[in-house]
Amino acid sequence: MDQDLKKQLKKFREIEPDESFLRKSRVLILSLEKEKRVIFFGSHVTAWAMSFAVVFLLILGYLFIPARSGQVPIASAEALNKELNAMNINIALSEVSYNNQINQTINKTLSAVTSNAALHLNPDILQSESLMMASMTVAGNGSQVDDLLNQVLQ
Amino acid sequence: MEDDKLLKKAKKGEGVAFGELYDKYAPKVYRYVFLKLNGKKSDAEDLTHEVFLSAWKNMENFDDRGVPFMSYLYKVARNAVIDHWRTVRPTYDIETIAEERFSVDPDIAGKIDFDSDMIAVKECLSKLEPVYQDVLIMKFIEDFSNREVARALEKSEGAVRVIQHRALKQLRKEIEKHGSRFKKTTEEI
């Protein structure tokens, strides 16, 4: 039975395509210009190597660029906060030192003003004032002034 | 010229060499596609053309160390047939179904003496699973070796032997099952 079947199947070899179809199809296929593949740097190996290099760079870029661009805002915010806190401390310290100086100066001034002792005055100034007083006294106008004042008071 | 030399030249883009391969294998591919498409001549011609066009376009990539060129062509043809059936959904008119299913393409019938047994075998062959059809066509119509069939179907040679056995058994069953109906129909033809 199998042999009969196989014989029957072999009869299908008689199926043949039309000669006209074969001719036409053959001409059409062979007239088609084969697509030229563009291979950079001459060989497939180099092209593959270049592809791998590009992929490798992309992976590296993916790993590192997000670390800079994606995490930078957080990192920079932290850095800015630290910087800001440091600035506040510096500003506070400089203010404290400035206030201390001011306080010291004010204290010195107040003590100098309230003090009756003229020890703090400049000896040159004292000398010039005493000279001026002396000159006024030498001019003899002092008794006349006193007389005039007494007349006004009376 | 031997296939190896022709393939080397064809891979370099020599149309003459590919033309020789075409002349040698186009009838076989056509026959395979024709039987797989239930005898639709125009579709078989279109698919045969597509198979060789694809082979010519991809000739540079063909690796002649592993797969014989014929097995490669059958593989391409097989995929083309699968794609064809995927896109074409057959519709049958209930009035003419019997007439269509048991008739033979008039162009072929004019050239070949399709006797009633052949019509029966063709009809039953089309009812088998696609892989059974493939093995029977390659093995008994085209005289492929088990190795060549295995390469074309991407299966082991052992698997091909098993499929061949089952396919013959199934074909025999189909013919026995529909024997009386075929007898009646072919008498009418």
pLDDT of residue A14: 87
Kindly identify which residue of chain A lies nearest to residue B49, measuring between CA atoms: A25
The CATH class of B1-90 is mainly alpha
Contact B108, B41 (CB under 8 A): yes
- pLDDT tens digits along A138-147: 555 667 778 8
CATH architecture of the region B102-189: Orthogonal Bundle (1.10)
**Encoded tokens for B98:** 């019997």
pLDDT in tens, B36-66: 987 788 999 999 999 999 999 888 888 766 6
> Per the CB < 8 Å rule, is A9 touching B23?
no
DSSP B48: H
What does pTM read for this prediction? 0.56
* Range B75-92 average pLDDT: 81
- CA separation for the pair B98, B83 (Å, rounded): 26
B102 reaches A (C-beta below 8 A): no
Asked if A2 lies within 8 A of B111 by C-beta distance, the reply is: no
Closest-CA residue of B relative to A37 is B60
Q: Tens of pLDDT along B104-129?
A: 554 444 444 556 777 778 888 888 99
- Confidence (pLDDT) at B19: 92
Q: Which residues have CB under 8 Å from B7's CB, separation 6+?
A: B17, B21, B62, B64, B69
The C-alpha of A44 sits at a distance from chain B's nearest C-alpha, in angstroms, of 12
Name the residue among B56, B107, B108 with its Cβ closest to that of A29. Answer: B56
CA of residue B132 relative to chain centroid, distance: 11
Q: Is the pLDDT of residue B91 over 70?
A: no
Task: Name the residue ranges covered by the structural domains of chain B.
Answer: 1-90, 102-189
Q: Do A25 and B56 touch (CB under 8 A)?
A: no
In chain B, residues with a C-beta closer than 8 Å to the C-beta of A18 are 45, 107
Q: Which is more confidently placed, A110 or A68?
A: A110
* Pick from A15, A22, A26: CB nearest B34: A15
- Other beta carbons within 10 angstroms of residue B52's beta carbon come to 25
* Distance between A29 CA and the closest CA of chain B, angstroms: 6
| Better-scored residue on pLDDT, A112 or B16 | B16
